Structures are given as C-alpha cells and as structure tokens.
C-alpha cells in the first residue's frame, strides 16, 4: 500500500514541478526580452529634454518591430503621449498602471502572470534626461502561443501520469494477488502437515523468497515424513515382536489348563517354556528402552573410559555361554585405547558384537576381539568364523528388528535390536561401525571406530 502512495506522490511531483520550472523560465525570458525592447525605445528617446506627443511620435515613427504587443510612453504625470494599440488607444488619457507609477518613481518594474490561457507580462522603465525623470515607457504583452505550448506540455504530462498510474495499479493488484495466492498455498500446506498429512507438499514455483521458504518447508516435511514412517514401522515391528512371546505364553498356559491329567514333568517343561518366553519379553523391552533412551537427548555424561578393563569383564560374562557352545574367545587390547563415553555404552557395544559372534558361530568356532589405537581413533575389531552374513543383507543388519534368519535369531534368543543399539550408541559417541566378510574363510568382521579421548594415555 505504502509504495502506491509513494508512486502517487511521484506522479503529482512529475505533474507540477516541470510546469513550475518551465513557467519560471518563460517569466524570465519574457523579462529579458521586454526589458531589451523597452531599452531600445528608451535609446530612441534619448536626447529629448522633454517628452511631448509630437516628439515622441516622431522619435518612434521609424521604430522597428519590437515584438511587444503594446507600448505606451507617458510624461511625468502618467499622461499617455504615445500608444501602439489601435483599438482602444489610450493616447491623451492617464495610464493607471502600478508599473508606470513605479517607473515614474525611478524604478524598473516588471510583472508577469500565467492564467492557463496566456502569459500576461508588463514592464515599465523611467525615461531619464540628465538625471531627471521626464517620463515612463510601459510595455505590455499578452502571449497565447507560449501558453498553448505549456498547456499541451501539461496535457501530455497528465496523460502519461494517468497511463503510468493505471499501469502501476494494475501491476500491483496482479502482483499482490499472486503473492497472496502463493502465501495461502503455503499456509494451506503447513496446516495440512500440522494435521498429520505428511505427504502434502507446498506447490510454489519460482525463485523468490516465498518459493525458497516453500522449498525449505518441503524438505522439512520430507524429513518429518521419513521420521514418521520410521516411527510407525518401529511401533508396528515392536508390537509384533512383543506379540509373538505373549501368544506363546498364552498357548502354553491354555494347554496346561485344558489338559486334565498332565504329569509333573510335562507341566515343568511347559512352565520352563513360559519362563523362556517371559525372559525374551523382558530382553525385548530392555532393548526397546535402551533404543528409546538413545533416541532422546537424555544420554549420560561421557567420561574418559579405558576399553581394556571393560573388555575383560565382557569376556568373563560371555565365558560360560561360549563354553556351552564350545566357542573359544580370544582377545587383545592396547592399554592406550581410551574413549570419551560411558562404561555402560562401551560394555553394550562389546557385549552385543561378541555375543552375536558366539550366537552365530558353529561349534568349535572362535570369536576374536582386538582393541587397537590407529592415529586418532580407537578401533574395536570383533571377528568370528561363524555362518557369515549374505551380501544382500549386509546393508540392512543394523536396521531395527532386521534379521537374516528369523527362526535362527529367535532360537538363539535374538531380538533383532542388538546391532541397531550398537550403531546408535557408536554414532552418538561420534564413531562409525561397519561389517565385512572375513578375508580368510567363513565368518564376519565388525569394525567400530571411536575417537581417541584426548590426553588418553593413562
């Protein structure tokens, strides 16, 4: 709105200022031309000691064309001695013009007026003989030609202004419509997304600021949609995972209840199965809780943790499981390997990777863990000669609930969350985790890289 006011002000200025300037120019040029005409007449009258009708008429009889409409010469009393006008000649009368009075007082007088039809200018000068005022010359001009020129100039300016004004108005209406439509499109998209329609995108073309905001909004919505999809998948996977052991428990209890005469050994077997299912449930919920904690910003404050003692503890904990499966565990650790994290995190990483190594090993297999320092990184390598991971599953095994072989994972007590916990924990602590096939024979190698804690050489 304000820019319309500015444009209107500019148009008004355009219509008035040039006109005023040209008017002034005409006034000034008229003054010079009339002054010089009067001077010319004055020089014709020079030498006359006294002005009379006769000697003035005689002196001015052969006066060339002056370009002035009317010339009057008066004596000291303002009595007209000479007048060029034919109709309404004032000769023999008194000239009651202010300019004449001023000239008789010894001053040069000039007056000019523009009345939209003509430039009316009057000019008077005293006629002096030996420092004595002996009369006055009065010139009068009524110029319609210059006025017409000025008028057409004024008209042109007005036409141009009107055209510009209309164009500006049309353009601003058009632009504001376009702007409002873009904004309302964007607003509508924002509202839809707020209501949960994450697939909705703002449809704004162009490269202006609104289009940029819309593009930012669209990429934000993309991220929201991805997160929302991941959340939904996670919730549905989690419910599914919880449902399976619950259904198992239900089936087992129903069987006990519905079988009239069940001997003690069978009941014990059933109850043992129920216990195992319950244990799986609690493992899943524990893993889920851990993942939720990793998702939130609520992580424990890190400290400088040496990896070796934690590894020793994990090896002790997994010793029995390994012995049961006849899998041998070996390890080596650099004393300089210290990481900025929590003991719990490093324990979880080592435990999950090594437990997987044992779980997915064949009998008489081995799991070897090496902790080294490579430049600015602490590298944890967990290698096994187990069943290995098929190529097509390699990129997915860190996904939540992803298992290469569901049955086998369940049999060995897996939840499908172990590796996602490892990845999330490692990423949180500024590291990376990768998996590859073992170079010499069957099996896999998991490599975790974490930043070496500063001043870590304890």
Interface residues with ligand ADP (CB under 6 A)?
352, 356-357, 360, 384, 386-389, 397, 402-405, 409, 414-420, 444
* Least gap, CB of 417 to ligand ADP (angstroms): 6
- For residues 118 and 147, the answer to whether their CB atoms sit within 8 Å is yes
* Least gap, CB of 326 to ligand ADP (angstroms): 17
Instruction: Please tell me the distance from the alpha carbon of residue 425 to that of residue 428, in angstroms, as a whole number.
Output: 5
* Least gap, CB of 280 to ligand ADP (angstroms): 10
Instruction: Please tell me the distance from the alpha carbon of residue 86 to that of residue 61, in angstroms, as a whole number.
Output: 15
**Residue with Cβ nearer ligand ADP (60 or 291):** 291
Structure tokens at 393: 């599953």
Helix (H) or strand (E) holding 304, with range, is strand 303-306
Helix (H) or strand (E) holding 368, with range, is strand 366-374
* Least gap, CB of 415 to ligand ADP (angstroms): 5
**Residue with Cβ nearer ligand ADP (273 or 405):** 405
* Least gap, CB of 429 to ligand ADP (angstroms): 18
- For residues 82 and 56, the answer to whether their CB atoms sit within 8 Å is yes
**Residue with Cβ nearer ligand ADP (74 or 356):** 356
Helix (H) or strand (E) holding 126, with range, is strand 119-129
- For residues 329 and 322, the answer to whether their CB atoms sit within 8 Å is yes
- For residues 271 and 403, the answer to whether their CB atoms sit within 8 Å is no
**Residue with Cβ nearer ligand ADP (128 or 404):** 404
Length of the chain, please? 458
C-beta atoms surrounding 298 within 10 Å: 8
Instruction: Please tell me the distance from the alpha carbon of residue 192 to that of residue 25, in angstroms, as a whole number.
Output: 66
**Residue with Cβ nearer ligand ADP (245 or 386):** 386
**Residue with Cβ nearer ligand ADP (373 or 404):** 404
**Residue with Cβ nearer ligand ADP (386 or 431):** 386
* Least gap, CB of 278 to ligand ADP (angstroms): 17
* Least gap, CB of 233 to ligand ADP (angstroms): 15
């Amino acid at each position: 709105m304000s820019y319309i006011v500015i444009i209107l002000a500019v148009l008004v200025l355009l219509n008035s200022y040039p006109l005023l300037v040209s008017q002034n120019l005409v006034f000034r040029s008229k003054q010079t031309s009339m002054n010089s005409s009067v001077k010319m007449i004055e020089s014709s009258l020079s030498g006359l000691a006294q002005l009379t009708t006769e000697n003035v008429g005689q002196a001015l009889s052969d006066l060339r064309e002056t370009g002035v409409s009317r010339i009057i010469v008066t004596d000291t009393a303002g009595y007209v001695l000479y007048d060029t006008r034919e109709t309404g000649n004032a000769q023999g009368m008194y000239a009651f013009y202010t300019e004449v009075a001023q000239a008789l007082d010894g001053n040069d007088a000039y007056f000019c007026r523009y009345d939209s039809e003509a430039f009316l200018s009057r000019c008077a000068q005293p006629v002096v003989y030996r420092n004595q005022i002996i009369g006055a010359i009065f010139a009068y001009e009524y110029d319609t030609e210059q006025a017409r020129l000025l008028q057409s100039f004024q008209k042109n300016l007005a036409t141009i202004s009107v055209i510009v004004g209309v164009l500006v108005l049309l353009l601003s209406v058009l632009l504001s419509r376009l702007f409002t439509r873009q904004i309302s499109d964007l607003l509508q998209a924002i509202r839809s997304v707020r209501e949960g329609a994450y697939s909705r995108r703002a449809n704004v073309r162009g490269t202006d600021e609104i289009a940029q905001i819309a593009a930012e909004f669209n990429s934000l919505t993309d991220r929201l949609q991805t997160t929302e999809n991941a959340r939904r998948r996670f919730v549905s996977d989690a419910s599914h995972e919880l449902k399976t052991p619950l259904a198992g428990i239900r089936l087992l209890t129903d069987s006990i209840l519905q079988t009239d005469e069940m001997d003690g050994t069978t009941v014990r077997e059933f109850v043992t199965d129920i216990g195992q299912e319950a244990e799986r449930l609690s493992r899943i919920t524990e893993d889920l809780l851990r993942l939720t904690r990793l998702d939130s910003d609520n992580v424990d404050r890190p400290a400088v943790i040496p990896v070796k003692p934690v590894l020793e503890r994990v090896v002790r904990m997994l010793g029995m499981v390994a012995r049961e499966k006849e899998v041998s565990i070996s390890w080596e650790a650099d004393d300089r390997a210290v990481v900025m994290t929590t003991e719990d995190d490093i324990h979880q990483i080592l435990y999950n990777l090594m437990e997987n190594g044992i779980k997915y090993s064949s009998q008489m297999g081995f799991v070897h863990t090496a902790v080294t320092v490579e430049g600015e990184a602490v590298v944890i390598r967990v290698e096994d000669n187990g069943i290995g991971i098929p190529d097509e599953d390699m990129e997915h095994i860190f996904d939540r609930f992803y298992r290469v072989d569901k049955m086998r994972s369940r049999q060995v007590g897996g939840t499908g969350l172990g590796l996602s916990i490892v990845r999330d924990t490692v990423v949180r602590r500024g590291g990376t985790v990768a998996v590859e096939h073992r170079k010499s024979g069957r099996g896999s190698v998991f490599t975790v890289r974490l930043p070496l804690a500063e001043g870590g050489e304890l």
